[in-house]
Amino acid sequence: MTPDNFSISNKMFSGKSPDSGMRVQIIGVGGAGANVVDCLSLEMNSYGNISFGVINTDRSALENSPINDTCLIGRNVTRGLGTGGEMELGFKAADQDRENLRNMLANPDIVFIVTGLGGGTGTGAAPVVAEVASSTDALVISYATLPFTFEGGRKKTLADEGLALLRKSSDAVIPLPNDILLQGDDGDSSVLKAFAQGKDWVRTGIEAILSLVHKTGLCNIDYSTLRNAFVERGGKTLFGVGMGSGQNASSNALESLMLCPLLRTPENSLKADNLIVNITGGPSLGMTDVNEIMTFLRGKLGGDNTVFGAVIDENCGDSIEIFILGTTNLNHSRTLPTESQSGTSPTNDIFPASSKKNSKARSKSDRGQEEVLSNTQKEFDFLGNIDEGRGYFDQTDKNLFNGEDLDIPTYLRRGIKISLK
């Protein structure tokens, strides 16, 4: 359930963005991404130097879009009829139209990609779009919605594959699980209201990042500083927003931030190597508030490489709004050896074919020695809380086999209490 004192408002980080000369593109890929960007183009049309575009394999969907800049990909692959949920067709469609994608992504400074994972076009094409955008030396930040649990294992598998590929070609990827849309406060939200919340998350994130370099404040950062905050691709992200008001506005905002549901999803990281913080407040916002917030966040979330901005917005009154975006590096992630490197299959390294035979072939003396050892050991319980994190592997993609995360020990996955006596 979403905490009662957490909410996301359309007023967060609101206001017209001044024209700084920085070129920004917001691109929707696939049906879900295009729907979100269609709405954003109507809500954010007062922002300077922002252009909107949609990319799809479905011709009829593009014809109904209010956005002029559209790109139909994969004419020879799907004939404009969509991919039917096939990720491979989505990839082929985008791969064959790289030149058209390059023409659409004409020298931007920042590209925001919005897509839905688990289907065909978004899952297969979005990583290609991100790769093309990256080739222009733009900062590429992707927002990806993930399937509802009730949509089944196939969509989840496709979404996991697409998420891993998207992370490799984006500077940051913010996963937005659709399941959090079911966590409304009143439990009676309409379908349209639930999906609108996902759109609001995307808008809030985009506006917060743009305000870092657009709005005047106590501490401003330039585009180059923002760009250099993303030093390595492929890692997980940490994403959240919070707002507080009143005499203890900074403390209330931090409390709201820590209750943000997006900080508690397995697709996001619990810690960050690189952390971007944007603090927005009214004229009364002071460096004491900024110091309190940054000290707390550094201690709670890490961030050896931290970039922050403090922005003054008279519309905030006595409110303080906090936005965080963190990324993790993968320089100490685990990779399984390939067959050519080890001479054996990686799968066999995890599940040795002879393990069962060896266990049956143990001699009686071996079992006797184990019984002697066990008498000197006390009972201990390994049963832990899986939801607390994945430990060393928290910054890596899940190593799934038959729906189980192999980086979580077996006794934890299956809730086994181990007793040695």
Question: 3-class secondary structure for 214-233?
Answer: HCCEEECCCHHHHHHCCCCC
CA-angle at 99, arms to 84 and 207, nearest 5°: 75
Looking at residue 201, its pLDDT comes to: 86
pLDDT at 312 over 80: yes
Band (386; pLDDT cuts 50, 70, 90): very low
- Considering the entire predicted model, what is its pTM? 0.73
Residues of the chain with CATH 3.40.50.1440: 24-327
Mean pLDDT, rounded, for 216-225:
76
Average pLDDT over residues 379-392: 41
pLDDT tens digits for range 58-108: 999 999 999 999 999 999 999 999 999 999 999 999 999 999 999 999 889
Question: Does 162 have pLDDT greater than 70?
Answer: yes
Can you tell me the mean pLDDT for 358-386?
Answer: 40
The most confident of the ranges 316-320, 335-339, 392-396 is 316-320
3-state SS, one letter per residue, for 262-301: HHHCCCCCCCEEEEEEEEEECCCCCHHHHHHHHHHHHHHH
Q: What is the pLDDT of residue 362?
A: 39
pLDDT band at 267 (very low <50, low <70, confident <90, very high): low
Q: Is the pLDDT of residue 372 over 90?
A: no
**Tokens, residue 103:** 């023409």
Nearest Cα residue to 159 out of 172, 144, 171: 144
How far apart, in Å, are the Cα atoms of 213 and each of 70, 98, 138, 150, 367? 28, 30, 15, 40, 67
pLDDT at 191: 64
CATH architecture of the domain formed by 24-327: 3-Layer(aba) Sandwich (3.40)
With 50 as the cut, is the pLDDT of residue 342 above it?
Answer: no
Per-residue pLDDT, averaged over 247-259, amounts to 93
CA-CA distance, 108 to 388, in Å (whole number)?
Answer: 39
Question: Residue 187 pLDDT > 90, yes or no?
Answer: no
Looking at the predicted structure, is the pLDDT value of residue 325 above 80? Answer: yes
Name the residue with higher pLDDT: 407 or 145.
Answer: 145
Q: What confidence tier does 412 reach under pLDDT thresholds 50, 70, 90? A: low
Cα distances (angstroms) measured from residue 89 to each of 126, 127, 363: 12, 13, 55
Q: What is the pLDDT of residue 122?
A: 96
The pLDDT score that the predictor gives to residue 149 is 86
